[in-house]
Amino acid sequence: MRYSIYEGNIEKLEKKLKNISNKCIRFGCTFKYEIIGEEYKDIEIDGIKHKLKFIIIEAEGIAKLNDWIFVASVEHTPSGNIINKAIYDIEIPERYYNSESFCEHCNTKRIRKDTYIVMNEKTKEFKQVGKSCLKDFTGGLSAESIAHYYSFFDELEKEQNDTSFYSGGFNKYFETTVILHYIAETIKHFGFMKTDSDRPTAYRSFDYYLVDHKGYIFTEEARKEYRNEMDRVNFNIDSEDTKELVKKATEWILAQKDDNNFIHNLKVIVKQDYITYKHLGILASLFAVYKRSIDNEEFTKKKENEINKQRNNSNYVGNIGDKITFDVANFKYVTGWQNSFGGYVTMYRIIDTLGNIYIWKTSSNVEYKTETDFKKCIGTVKAHTEFNQIKQTELIRCKLIK
């Protein structure tokens, strides 16, 4: 049979099952729970509807291990795993990005949403283990018979109908896409603020979500203040530009490679249908990293266009040894270096009004305030060269005229 049990009761349930199955206990018990699935239910508590998560489970058991260090916890979700590192300079292997919630030591699949990653300091081997194995890695257990599990079902039935958590703390879930729209709309009107700022975007957008969804806010004065802020800027999560931004940013992150823990975690969170409050910060960062990527792409494209333009416009000027005069459009320092004689060489790039590029290497230090200070240049052609397939005329003995 299958049972739908509130996620917050799983740990309490395991403690009960340990007592029932003490015949299987030797060095500290752990149970094998097969996760059949999960579901979200709208539960009304004190007049406010909350979306809560319930685990659909079945039951079983095993354990064992030795001499490793704890490096991360793994939060299992249907969209992939969220890696929470305890030691940040250790990169967690990619195989744990989508690993199931089972202990690699005892080969037991468990119901808990979290498992743990340990690393052998000597061999650098990684293992994913359950909570019981994490304690000391010296114990073991195994269910003697399926009969030992018959009594589990009574407990599961009780847990399925247990509503005592209503009066205490519980995890509340929110639709990921909806929260993304609130974050995007908040950024549009108030800019992006990091989580260490006075009023981070992640939590400000969530305040606005709570205003619209009649969620709990500390004071009524704060609720009114947030509503006034939203009204002043015509806050609208259904605006076309906000919907388009959410769509593009989501498509962008899902297309990225899992080349580091941050991108992997962000992808996993974005793929989930629902998130909890603790993931607001990383979710809000989606738009910051997306914008940075777009800005980098635009800069690269602009640079490529500039180079292509130079390739098309720049031609060789004069013959070797010719003394030439031309109108200057741009004069710029490029680089400098010490020569083998102990002197210092400076290289300047000059572009004329026709788009031709000149290179001048000199021991002279040219003083100028802007790249358009000079109007004319007189110099002697030393060579015709190419750089990045761009034709360049090298000059010597240049004289610049303002």
What was the pLDDT predicted at 31?
47
**CB atoms closer than 10 angstroms to residue 158:** 14
- Structural domain contains residue 84: yes
The rounded radius of gyration (Å) of the Cα atoms in the chain is 32
Residues 123, 152 within the same domain = no
Residue in 190, 200, 183 with CA at minimum distance from that of residue 249: 183
What was the pLDDT predicted at 151?
43
Residues 99, 212 within the same domain = no
Cα-based distances in Å from 59 to 29, 63, 70, 141:
14, 15, 27, 15
- Structural domain contains residue 148: yes
Query: Residue 360 sits in a domain of what CATH number?
Result: 2.40.50.110
- Structural domain contains residue 308: no
Residues 236, 109 within the same domain = no
Residues 265, 193 within the same domain = yes
Residues 354, 393 within the same domain = yes
Domain count, the chain: 4
pTM, two decimal places: 0.54
Rounded distance between C-alpha atoms, residue 109 and residue 228, angstroms: 50
- Phi, psi dihedral angles at 151 (to 5 degrees): -70, -10
Q: Which residues pair with 38 in a beta bridge?
A: 55
The DSSP output letter for 193 is -
What was the pLDDT predicted at 140?
35
Amino acid at 330: N
- Structural domain contains residue 47: yes
**CB atoms closer than 10 angstroms to residue 83:** 22
**Residues 251 and 290 sit within 8 Å (Cβ to Cβ):** no
**CB atoms closer than 10 angstroms to residue 345:** 14
Residues 6+ apart with CB under 8 A from 86: 70, 71, 72, 73
Residues 6+ apart with CB under 8 A from 194: 200, 201
- Structural domain contains residue 363: yes
Residues 33, 160 within the same domain = yes
In DSSP notation, 328-369 reads EEEEEEEEEEE-TTS-EEEEEEEEETTS-EEEEEESS----S
What was the pLDDT predicted at 173?
86
Tell me which of 91, 120, 139 is where a domain ends.
139
Residues 189, 240 within the same domain = yes
Residues 227, 287 within the same domain = yes
Rounded distance between C-alpha atoms, residue 74 and residue 97, angstroms: 9
Residues 54, 165 within the same domain = yes
Rounded distance between C-alpha atoms, residue 370 and residue 270, angstroms: 47
Residue in 227, 220, 212, 200 with CA at minimum distance from that of residue 175: 212
- Structural domain contains residue 304: no
**Residues 248 and 289 sit within 8 Å (Cβ to Cβ):** no
Residues 191, 337 within the same domain = no
Residues 135, 268 within the same domain = no
**Residues 193 and 202 sit within 8 Å (Cβ to Cβ):** no
Give 185: exposed, middle or buried? Use CB within 10 Å, 0-12, 13-18, 19+: buried
Residue in 66, 74, 85 with CA at minimum distance from that of residue 123: 66
Rounded distance between C-alpha atoms, residue 171 and residue 53, angstroms: 8
What was the pLDDT predicted at 28?
37
Residues 91, 210 within the same domain = no
Query: Residue 32 sits in a domain of what CATH number?
Result: 3.30.70
Q: How far is CA 173 from the centre of its chain?
A: 20
What was the pLDDT predicted at 120?
82
What was the pLDDT predicted at 164?
59
Q: How far apart are the first and last CA of the chain?
A: 90
- Structural domain contains residue 27: yes
What residues make up the domain containing 132? Answer: 63-139
**CB atoms closer than 10 angstroms to residue 142:** 13
Number of residues written out for the chain: 402
**CB atoms closer than 10 angstroms to residue 353:** 11
- Structural domain contains residue 312: no
Question: Can you list the residues of the chain whose pLDDT is less than 70?
Answer: 1-3, 14-35, 45-47, 59-70, 86-88, 132, 134-170
